[in-house]
Amino acid sequence: MPEKEDKQKILDYLCEALQHTRMASNIDNIKYAEEFGSEYAVIQYDDYSAEKWCDITADSGSAMLADVIYFIRKEW
């Protein structure tokens, strides 16, 4: 098990999987960001009309996956 999880890599794989779904096929990318001591998954859509910021502060990799999927479903 890795000592420190690569959250960007995890988000890249999640984005690729989500792009194959009806619910999230319009997602262009998901980026990891650190701002003001917090961590976020920044979801960008293919029309670049909006960016959604999902708080993933202190999440493990698996908790981050669950939080981002829940966030996207809630927005849908």
- Checking if the pLDDT of 66 tops 70, the result is yes
What pTM does this model have? Answer: 0.89
Structure confidence at residue 2 as a pLDDT band (50, 70, 90) = low
pLDDT for 18 = 97
pLDDT for 47 = 82
Mean pLDDT of 2-29: 94
Kindly report the number of other CB atoms within 10 A of residue 9's CB atom. 11
pLDDT for 55 = 97
CB of 42 within 8 A of CB of 33?
yes
pLDDT for 75 = 78
